[in-house]
Each structure stands twice: as C-alpha cells, then as structure tokens.
Structure 1
Amino acid sequence: MGRLSGLFAPSSIAVVGATDREGSVGRAIIENLDADYDGDVVAVNPYRGSVLGHTCYDDLEEAPYVDLAVVVVPPDAAIETVRSAGEVGIKNVVVITAGFGETGSEGATREQELQAVAEEYDLNVVGPNSLGIMSTPVGMNATFGPDNALDGSISFMSQSGAFVTAVLDWAIQQDIGFKDVVSLGNKAVLDETDFVEAWGEDDDTDVIVGYLEGIDRGREFIETAREANDDTPMVLVKSGRTEAGAQAASSHTGTMAGAEAAYEAGLEQAGVLRVDTVQELFDAARALSGLPELPKDDVAVVTNAGGPGVMATDAVGDSSLNLASFSDATLESFDELLPDEATGYNPVDVIGDADVARFRGALDIALNDDGVGAAIVLAAPTAVLSYEELADAVGELQAEYGKPVVGAFMGGESAERGAAALREHGIPNYFDPARAVDSLEALSRYREISERTYPEHETFEDVDRERAREILGRVEERSDNRLGVEAMDLLDAYGIPTPDGEVVDSPAEAESVAADIEGDVVMKIVSPDILHKSDIGGVRVGVEQADVRDAYEDLVARAHNYQPDADVLGVQVQAMVDLDDATETIIGANRDPQFGPLLLFGLGGIFVEVLEDTSLRVGPISEPEARTMVDEIKAAPLLRGARGREPADVDAVVEALQRLSQLVWEFPAILELDVNPLVAGPDGANAIDVRLTVDPDQLADEPRTDAPSTTDHSTPSPDQ
C-alpha cells in the first residue's frame, strides 16, 4: 500500500484526547481499539493519569513513539497536536475533531493552517471532521462508531461518517465484510484519489466502494482509477445529482460540487461503476469480490417457479445481458433429465416437485454449454427441496465450471439459511431476481472496463500559442470577459478550419473584404453585448456583393435599436458555407472546478438547446474518445449519410474536437467556449461562429503542455 501502509497497519496508536468520561468520543475510540486491535494503544491527555487501564501521557513528545495518532481535541489544539506529531516523526494522523472547513470562514482558515502543517512535515492526514478509520486484518477500529467491521476484502470510503456507521450496522446483518474503512471527513490532506491509489495496489482489497459528495482532483482521480481498475473494480455512490442535493453536499462538508454532467463523464472515463443506492452498491461489491469473472454475457436461468422465472427473463431483457440460447446437445440432455411437464428451454423450469438432484443436474447441463457465461438459480421453497443442500450443489458446480452463479432463493427463514450456505461458497443471494441480474451485469460492466485501452492524447504541434494568447488577451481591454466572432482567429491558431472572412468596422471595409471572397457572403453583427444575434436580425445570409454596404449599415442600426448602449465592434463578413449536404454540429467546452475542461459534441445550430442531443468527456481527449463522442449522439446517422445524404467528413469533425480539447487544456483561462455551428459536410468541417468567456487573471500564465499521462491497460485487438 506504499506510503499509507502505516495508516492501515500501525503497530501502535496514540489517542490524543483519550478520556474515561462516559459518552465521550475519546473513550469510545479507546474502547474500540481495546476490543480487537493487535498493537499497542497509547493514551495522551495531560488531565488524566490513566484511561481505562492505559497510562496517560501529557503530550506526544512525552509518549512512546507510535505509527498513528488519532486526534480528539478542540480545533485549535488539534492543529498544534498535528504539528507535534510531525516534530516527533509520526507520519500518520487521523483528525476526528470537527470545527474546520464545514463550519464557515473561520473554520476554513483553520483548515488551511492544518494543511500547511501537514505539508511542512509531509504527513498523511485523514479528516478533519472524520469518524475515523478501520482495518480488519489488524483488528483496528480507530473510530467512535458503535460497531467494528466484519473481516472481508472490500475497502470502503465515505465522505459521511453517519453513512459509515449505518452501512456497517447493515453490513453485519447482511454478513458483508471489509478490509479497510475510511471516513474521509473534509479531505484536507488525503482524499479519495489517495485511497484509490493505495487500495488499487493492495492485494487484500478485491473491490473499492465508496460514498462521495465531491471529487477534489478530478483529472488525477480519472488517471488513478484507470490504473486501479486493472485488478480492482470500483463502485461508487456519488450524491448531489440534483441542484438541491449539490447544495446540501456543500453545506455538509464544505465540498464544492462540480456539475453533474462532469461527474457523469468523469466517472465513466475513470471506469467507475456508479450506482444510486446502498443496496446496489453492495450487491455489485459482493458479486465483484466473490464471483469468478464473467466470460460472456449470456445467462441461463434455472428455476422451480414459472412466474419468478419470467420475472428473471424480463430483468435480463432490460439489462445489457442476454438470455443464453442452448445448443442442440444441451436441449437433448434436458429432455433426458427433466419430466415431460418441465421445460429445457431458457429459462429452464425444473417444476415445483424438483429436488436437489434435479436442480443440480439441470444447472450442470446449463453450465456445461459453451454458450452460457453465467447462471441464476431461482428457487421457491417446497417440502422436497433443501435450500442448504441446493446451496452446496450450486457452490460445487460454480467451482467446477469457473462460471459465475448467483442465487435467488426466495422466501423467509429457509431462504436465510440457504443464503448463509451460499455465502460459504462466495455466492450472493437475492430475494428479487432483478437484483441477481444486476449483480451479473456488474461483472459484465467491469469486464468491459478492464479490457479498455487508453491511447495517448495527440498533441498538435502546428498550433500558434502566442497568437492564441494575444487573441485571448483582448478581454483585458474590455469591460467584460467575453469574446465572440471577433475571436475566430483563435480557432485558426489551433488549426480548426473557418471560412474566409474578417471583422470590419466600416461599410467600405466590408465591401473590400467581400470583394476578395468568391460569391455571396454572410454578415453578422459583432457585439459582446448581443449574444443571440439571430434573435434581433443581426445575421444576413447570402448577401450579394452590391448589397454589402447597405447590409452593414442595416446590421449596425438593428443592433443600436435593440440595445442603444451596446458596444458594437463592427460586422463580420464571411464566405458562405454550403449547407445543402451538411449537418450543423456544436463543439464546445466548459471548465468544471473539479475535473477541468468538459468537452461537448452534439447537434448544433438552433437545435442544440431544444434537442439536447450531446455527448460529454473530460478533456483532454484522445482520437478514439473524440470519435466515440461523435458516434454516440442520437443524430449520428445524419453524419453517416442517412436517407441518401452524402456522408459527412467525420474525420474532420473528430480532429476539430481534438484540437479544441488541446486549446482549452493549454489555456486554463478559457472558462467557456462554444463553436456553434461547426458545419460538417462531405469535404470537411468549418467553424462558423464562436463564443467564449475568459478569465483575465490566468492569461499571464504560460500555456500548459502537460497533458495527463495515459496508459494502455490491455493489448489492443488487431482491428483497433
């Protein structure tokens, strides 16, 4: 586990603020450690001689050296305690104390002081405002929760301490075990990315699960999770989906929640299985930690109950899985095994009088079929069926064939006994057949994630960064921070094609520019105060050369009539782009506080806000990622030549997306950027309009060229 090994496997722990006072946090932590912890427990409290049989020391300087300090003292004293830990060489600290960033500006200042101390001494600090941490291999329960975790291979992190206590209480009832448990608290120093990295390297962690309200280092999280996913699947509940939920998260932990769209894109790119409920979280975790890998998505259902069998069939149909089609040899075997009233087609109904032998024989035949990747054993209780014996048969056959099998033993007390027997074989049981299907779908999703490749991001070297910086710098001369079509040269600087044209500030200049353009022209008013030019008649299409002067004057007049105080910079004169065989798309970017640039592609023009047919990725993006963005919108068939249309040059669109991705990555000063429309035709793509918002305070920085590293996590197939 690298640098966090001392956090989870300390040989000794000091509790600073230990006390024997009933109902206190300091007492609860001492009692929890005394219950099972293998190492030494040191009590620190200058106002006590001893606590629950432990000699008390005045401070960490006087106490024996420990690997981990748990801090339960008032906020100001907590900072000094962390400093003392650093001075005596203790590298791992858990700050239980609240009263930091979650409480307002004074607490936020205090949290910054804590961060500075941790940085000065290079400390691993969990919290503040944390319930604490657990690690079952060493029996460590350094929390003030009421229960210790059961032993297991799931490592669990939560941004809510209350969620930890609730989950642990529920998990004991469900017989779900954990390896490590962390209450993240305010994440002043260590955050979710640090624990993903540690658990991804930990041979004893089979699955990472978590409840998060926000992700602090979005891009680093993506890269770290991708590496962890090679061997360790990750399942998360991310709260704050709704606007109200995001506000609640912020007030609860001081987390600045990013846009939900960014989390959706970022978690998908990270290879995280995102779920909505605690039940889904641990249904997936149990399947991923206990079952064999799913070789293929074709599922057999073996049942003694026709109605629930239909329910399971419907659930498979609603999922990404398939109901397996049996071979002729398999069907013949079922004919030989089953009575005439039974059916050997999938779902296999062994009928209500089936005993364990018939159930076992049917499951054996199904798993022996090469077309079957997994099985669900769905049973209703009968007088002739022992759930415990059936569970043992299911476990033995799963071990023999190496294919995942899940149980849906329905019922009450008898089902509980059967579920307990299944757990002995690492097999989960679900009362609801749909949950059994969902658990297998989690295996399928993880297989797809683990087989992904992440190609290197291409950096285009034919870009003009100095020219781009000069164009962005024009906002420093303005009263606002927006640029429009007058910044079309910014796209040129990064190789995104634009039609010939210029922004002019007189009728004579308009005529001169138009004369150099073959054919009719498009003319648009240029004003940072008028965002939707079409709404006021600020765009003229198909203007003949002879009408350019009059069109210029008309556009300027319309702008002043619409908004007398508008800052009118002039008129853009632009070559016409043939739209007859083209599709209007949009490419854009928005800077998310956690993940950075969020790239968008979709159907553009006037339809983008109406149809909302878009795809999103956290940038920078590679060529395959850009191509997937283009392919996954609903209107993609339009680009491929639907209804006899000539196909668009999709390669040109993909390259434009990549170049835009590089632009917004290299210039963090760009807060928002829309190219709408990007006209995609048979002979290429052209950016017709642009609008962007710039942060002038970041323009002094050099363009960044440190694109995040990417790693191939598997060998590409020959056609990739």
Structure 2
Amino acid sequence: MADLTGLFAPERVAVVGATPGEGSVGRAITANLIEGFSGEVVGVNPNYGTVLGVECVDSLADAGEPDLAVVVVPPGIAIEVVREAGEVGVENVVVITAGFGETGSEGATRERELREVAREYDLNLVGPNSLGIMSTSVGLNATFGPDDALEGNLSFMSQSGAFITAVIDWANDQGIGFNDVVSLGNKAVLDEADFVEAWNEDDGTDVVIGYLEGIEEGREFIETAREVTRDTPVVLVKSGRTDAGAQAASSHTGTIAGSERAYEAGLAQAGVLRAESVQELFDSAQMLANQPLPEGESVAVITNAGGPGVMSTDAVGDSRLSMASFSEDTLERFRESLPAEGNIYNPVDIVGDADIERFADALEAALSDPNVGMALVLSAPTAVLDYEVLAERTVELREEYDKPVAACFMGGERVAPAAELLREAGIPNYFDPARAVDSLDSLARYREISAREYDAPTAFDVDRERVRELLDRAEERGDNRIGVEAMGILDAYGIPIPEREVVSDPVEAERVAESIDGEAVMKIVSPDIMHKSDIGGVKVGVPESEVYDAYEDLVARARNYQPDATLLGVQIQEMVDLDRGVETIVGTNRDPQFGPLLLFGLGGIFVETLEDVTVRIAPVSESEATEMIDGIDAAPLLRGARGREPVDETAITETIGRLSQLVTDFPEIVELDINPLVVTPEGATAIDIALTVEQ
C-alpha cells in the first residue's frame, strides 16, 4: 500500500511553473495554496524571485525538500521535472500538465516515459492531465479550480476535472463538505484502487465517492475494494454504460472501456455501491456518512399527507426494502393516539391536522418497535405544523433510538431552516419521497456488503499439461478458434462430457457408432464453422444404420456452406437424455480491464434471444457460483417447475468453478462457450464447446 500521507498532509509544497501571469494555471494554483494552506508554499521558476509574495527558486533542488511538488510546465519538460523530483527526494508529485495519453500516440509515448520515471524513483504521482488535489484538513487546495471545498467526511475522486469544479460549487451551496478531493487525470501511476485503499485508513474519511470513466486494473481494484468495503462504503458513478458513452470516454481520457457487464459484475463483487446519477451518488453518500446501519430492511413511514405516503410505499416496493409490519403493542399505541380517520398501518397517516406532538408520538412509537429497521418522516406544510420544531424532535428521536431516519419535509422556502437543522444532525431532507427511500436502500445494501464473508475459490485437481498440449496443437495448425475437438480441454478439467470420437471418413464413423449404446449425435468439426446447427451441421438421434450417409451429408453441407473451411472430420458422440434435463450455458469472455468474465444462464438455441444470464469476474468462489445460478430468471426451471424433478445444482456450481479455474490458468483463452450444458437430476454434461484463443 502506498503511503499517501505526504500527498494529503504536506508541510511544504512546491509549485513548479508558478507564475504571476493573469489567467495562467500556475498563478491559479499558487493563489489557491497561499489562500488557505497551513504549511509553506514555494514557487519554482527561474524567471522570478517571488510569485504572489512567496519565494520562487530556480529548481526543485533549491526548494527546501518539499513533501509535494505540483507540476505545471509543458509536457516535455514535465518528465524531466518529475525525474528531478525523484533525484532530490520529493516523494509526492501532482502533474497538472496535459498532452499525454489523452492526445494520441505521441502523448501515449510521453506518458509511458513519465510512468517509468515515477516508478524508478517510487513516486506517488497523480495525473498527468489532472486538475489537482485538495485536502481540507490542512487547507490544501492544489488545484486550478475556482473554489475551495467545505470541510467534511467524504473523500472524492474523479476522472474529470471539470466535474470536480462543478460538484464543489454545487456542494458548497448545499453545505456538503469533503475531506480529500483528487482529480485522477490519466492515472499514469496512482489510480482509484490506491486512493480507495488509502482513504480506508484515514480517520477523516467516512465514505469514498467517485466518478470514473474506466478502470484499467480491474482485478486489482476488485481485490482492494473488497477489503475496504468491509469498513468504508464506496459509492461510484461509472460513465460509458452505452456504446456511444464508452467511445466518448475513450476519446476523452485515453481509457479503453471494458464491457458494461464486466463493470456491473466487477463493482458488485468489489462491494461498491454503483450510483446511476450524480444525485443518487450524493444522496447515498450523505446517508452512509451520517447514519447508523439498520438492523433490518423494514421501513416505517410516518406522514401527514396520504398521497405522498402512497408514493413512498411504491418506492419501497421498487427497492430491496419492505414496509414494516408493526407489533400489536405499536398498533395499540396508534389506536390510542391517532384520530379515527387516520391509518394505524404502514404508511401511518396521522392526518393533515397533526401537530408536533402527534407527529413525534407516532415517530417514537415506530422507532421503538423491534420490527422497524428505519423510518421516513414525510410531511406537507400546514398551518398547525412548525417545521423547525419537527426537525428538532426528529433529530432527538433518531439519536435516542439509534435507527436510520430520512426526512421528506416537502416544500420550498418554508422548509429551508428545518432542512438545515436536519443536515447539521446528519439527517438528509428530500423533496421527493422516492429519493428518501433510495437513500435508505443504500444503507441496507451497504449493511449487506459489510457483513459479507468472502471464501476462496476451490482449487480442483486438474490436468494442466493436457490442456497445454491441446492448445499448442491448435496454435501449430494456426487455429485460434477451436470447436468440438476441444472437448478434451473440458475433460482435462473434470467437466463431464459424453463419450465421443472425431473421425475422418464414413467407415470410421460406423465403427465408432457400433460402440455407442443407442443412437448417436453427429457434428461437423471445423474451427471455421462455429454455429454448426445453423447450416445443418448437427444430426441428433442417428441410428447405426444411417451413420455412413449422415457423415457424407454433414461434410457436403459444410463444403457447400463454406468451401474453404478447414474440416477436421465429424464427431460421433453418445446422446444425452434432454427430456429430463435443462439446457444451460456456461461461458467466458475475456474483458480487457477485468480479465475473464464468466456467464451462466439458460442455454441452447434461446440464449441470444432471451439473454437470461448472470455474470461474474473469474476466479469465483463456490458461493459466487451459487449466486450466479440464483440470479437468473429461469432458476425455477432448475428447481422442478411444473412438476419436473429438480436438477443437480451442485453439478452446475462445480462446473462454473472448474471453468473459472481453467480460464484463470490459461489467460490465452479469450472466449469459451459450453452450450448446452445439460443438467439433469443426476449431474451436468457439456454437450458442445466453442473456444477462441489469442495466438
């Protein structure tokens, strides 16, 4: 783990490229540092003796051993400045300068050189192409943004500097503060995993939030964040979800975007809460930073407005939360305290003429109920209700019962003083009941994440040498796509396959068919024809007497379809009883950021139409494989729907685990589909395989 103490709590900062020139980045950074930094600031620029009243020296060697160097010089010079920083013992560097990987091949070459220099001297380097960093605990604003951040308990990282300036301006208006802020830039050295890990050890950070356009080292991020999120919530907005968005992200930051499914799986496995909008990002962050975790997922809604109460109930129904069922003692308290026209069940309608005491009594009754995990106080303004007093009583009861409370005091100017009281006590106020419910939902989701137990993937006894031999043989042929002839790879990793043999003439086909008990399945074998059924390249239920003619027909179909295709023969295999089984698919696709992406779902010919699949990043544990099975919509089909006998789910779990180990052991496997994997009450059998390797 990198020690980033000197980055966020330096005693002396050098601005390389400091200048008094109006409108310059060097001036803006120097001015921001002078304004609030509790340590010393020195400029580095041979053209000036002082800049904005601070000492200016010729080089970093003359700067008095700064803890942090902020580099604002042209890209070619920036590399030499970073080298000098390493030579004189500066451990922390922020490179503001652009013109690196985000600009094309020449810039990418410069960025590689910058990275090599930083690693040679073991530097903590932020950027290049960065807005800079902030740390409010020491008054550090080493950015060229127009505003200082308020002090708070959120630490914020962003791949977009412009997003940071907009967020800080908005957050200042909302009274939201930050501990540290980092503009990641191109992430040549330090990346999101480094900051997530560092902030987990920082007492001033309660929640980590961020905006990311891509994660280059996906597996490393999962492993780091998985440990961090046991103690510290991490909430991220990841852009580039659509093809167009991914392309825009690539052109903006030089990031090669991974597949959206890989990000969904990777962030979930890492324990990261993913926000779909900036509003959701901060709603979740504020709730997580200031509220206790709930004991359960049940919500009590206390309201003086029937319509908004129904809206909140709908929002709960759309979330993982549930409406609390009150105990009989609580119901009796409501019967005694509420008017006859009120509703004692959830949502609790205390009626529009409710005063402060009725509101407070109802909220206390709900919070004291052991069946209630959290509460939403929802009100519309009335002449008999003082919002500020209601806010004070809400804060008192939240503290007394130590249960999460969200507020939805609806209104405009009338609400502002009460909302400020609530905010100071860590209770966010929302105009929209759905936002209030979503913020409570984030608490329940994080409670589940923090309680997770991660088990190591099972290490199966396999034959790696046999797989290496089969892959080498394909490489010698110049094939990067391998079809049913690669069934031996599955066999070597303990994944059950039918008895089969590949033959190269019809007489051999008859000989093999004689040894099979019952009818046979015959498939054309060609690395150039992946979807064999589409061309009639598969025959099922072939009796022994028809095997000769079936062989010649399959070869003729393949030749007619693709005359230049490489034909390796025809595979003869025993039939598997599909009537008692379910056709599933288990597959993998190698993502450029996260590595092998495992897929499980309903298989056969419907997989591309229904797309009923779940995904995880390999390697996966047994529990993660089980989650993949539970996650598909068709899971009831595996468990005996419509009177069918349940299939052997343990066999599916093991197959996923063995495939996970295979693609982890052999990174040259870029795509592999077992389709179908037929699962019966007795086990699972891989019927067909398509495999692509990187030469």
TM-score range, shorter chain: over 0.9
Question: Within 1, Cα distance between the matches of 2:260 and 2:301?
Answer: 37
1:572 aligns with 2:568: no
Deviation at 1:593, TM superposition (A): 0.6
Indicate conservation of the 8 Å contact 1:236/1:281, yes or no.
Answer: yes
**Aligned-residue offset at 1:486:** 1.0
Q: Deviations over 1:195-215 (max 9, x none)?
A: 111112222211010000001
SS of equivalent residue, structure 2 residue 60 = coil
Which whole-Å CA distance do the structure 2 matches of 1:555 and 1:338 have between them?
79
What residue in structure 1 maps to residue 663 of structure 2?
664
The residue number in structure 2 matching 1:334 is 334
Alignment match, 1:308: 308
Answer whether contact 2:387 2:415 (CA < 8 A) is retained. yes
* Larger deviation, residues 354-363 vs 551-560: 354-363
Distance 1:337 1:608 in 2: 57
> Could you tell me which residue of structure 1 aligns to residue 540 of structure 2?
541
Aligned residue for 2:624? 625
Partner of 1:437: 437
Cα offset for 1:288?
0.2
% identity of equivalent residues: 69
1:238 matches 2:238: yes
Partner Cα distance (1:546, 1:327) in 2: 73
Contact 1:75 1:98 in 2 (8 A): yes
**Aligned amino acid, residue 369 of structure 1:** D
Instruction: Note if contact 2:645-2:681 (Cα within 8 Å) is conserved in structure 1.
Output: yes
Indicate if the aligned counterparts of 1:43 and 1:55 stay in contact, CA closer than 8 A: yes
In structure 1, C-alpha distance between the alignment counterparts of 2:73 and 2:201, rounded to whole Å: 33
Name the amino acid aligned to 2:65: Y
Equivalent in the alignment of 1:263: 263
Query: 1:107: how far off?
Result: 0.1
Quickly say closer, same or farther: Cα 1:217–1:2, change in 2 above 3 A. closer
Equivalent residue letter for 1:381: P
- C-alpha separation in 1, matches of 2:530 and 2:341: 72
Distance in 1 (CA, whole Å) between partners of 2:343 and 2:539 is 70
8 Å Cα contact 1:408-1:432 kept in structure 2: yes
Q: Which residue of 1 aligns with 2:221?
A: 221
Equivalent residue, structure 1, for 2:610: 611
CA distance in 2, matches of 1:650, 1:299: 35
Query: Pairwise CA RMSD of aligned residues?
Result: 1.2
TM-score by length of 1: 0.95
Work out the CA distance in 1 between the residues paired with 2:552 and 2:622: 44
Q: In the alignment, residue 126 of structure 2 is paired with which amino acid?
A: V
Aligned residue in 2 for 1:502:
501
- Shift of the alpha carbon at 1:373? 1.2
Tell me how many residue pairs correspond in the alignment. 695
Residue 522 of structure 1 corresponds to 521
Contact 1:297 1:322 in 2 (8 A): yes
| Partner Cα separation in structure 1 for residue 317 and residue 657 of structure 2 | 37
Query: CA contact under 8 A between 2:74 and 2:97: conserved in structure 1?
Result: yes
In terms of mean alpha carbon deviation, does 84-93 or 349-358 score higher? Answer: 349-358
What amino acid is the match of 2:638? L
Deviates more, 1:476-485 or 1:70-79: 476-485
SS of aligned partner of 2:256: coil
* Other structure's SS at 1:3 match: coil
Deviation per CA, 1:670-690: give whole Å up to 9, x if none.
010011111111221111111
2:135: which partner in 1? 135
Aligned partners of 1:328 and 1:557: how far apart in 2?
A: 77
Contact 1:592 1:598 in 2 (8 A): yes
Following the alignment from structure 1 to structure 2, what is the Cα–Cα distance between the partners of residues 425 and 646? 56
Question: Structure 1, residues 356-400: CA drift from partner, whole Å, max 9, x if none?
Answer: 222212211111111111111112222322222111111111010
What runs of 5+ residues in structure 2 fail to find an aligned partner? none
Q: Which amino acid in structure 2 is aligned with residue 325 of structure 1? A: S
User: Deviation per CA, 1:283-328, whole angstroms, max 9, x where unpaired?
Assistant: 0000000111111111111122222222222212222111112222
Q: Distance in 1 between matches of 2:121 and 2:58?
A: 22
AA at the equivalent of 1:146: P
Alpha carbons of structure 1 residues 365 and 54: separation in structure 2 relative to 1, 3 Å: same
Distance 2:481 2:54 in 1: 65
Task: Specify the SS of the correspondent of 2:93.
Answer: strand
Deviation at 1:23, TM superposition (A): 0.8
Aligned amino acid, residue 378 of structure 2: L
Q: Which amino acid aligns with 1:488?
A: M
Write the distance in 1 (CA, Å) between the matches of 2:210 and 2:60.
33
Q: Do the aligned partners of 1:19 and 1:51 also contact (CA within 8 Å) in 2? A: yes
Structure 1 partner of 2:190: 190
Given residue 588 of structure 2, which amino acid in structure 1 is its aligned partner? A
Q: CA deviation at 1:343?
A: 3.2
**Which amino acid is 1:193 matched to?**
A
Deviates more, 1:479-488 or 1:131-140: 479-488
In 2, the alpha carbon distance for the partners of 1:248 and 1:255 equals 10
**1:2, distance to aligned residue in structure 2 (A):** 5.8
Cα offset for 1:491? Answer: 0.7
Alignment-derived partner of residue 371 in structure 1: 371
Please give the alpha-carbon distance, in whole angstroms, between the structure 1 residues aligned to 2:511 and 2:583. 29
TM-score (norm 2): 0.98
Map Cα deviations across residues 73-127 of structure 1 (whole Å, 9 max, x no partner). 0001110000000001111000000000000000000000000001100001000
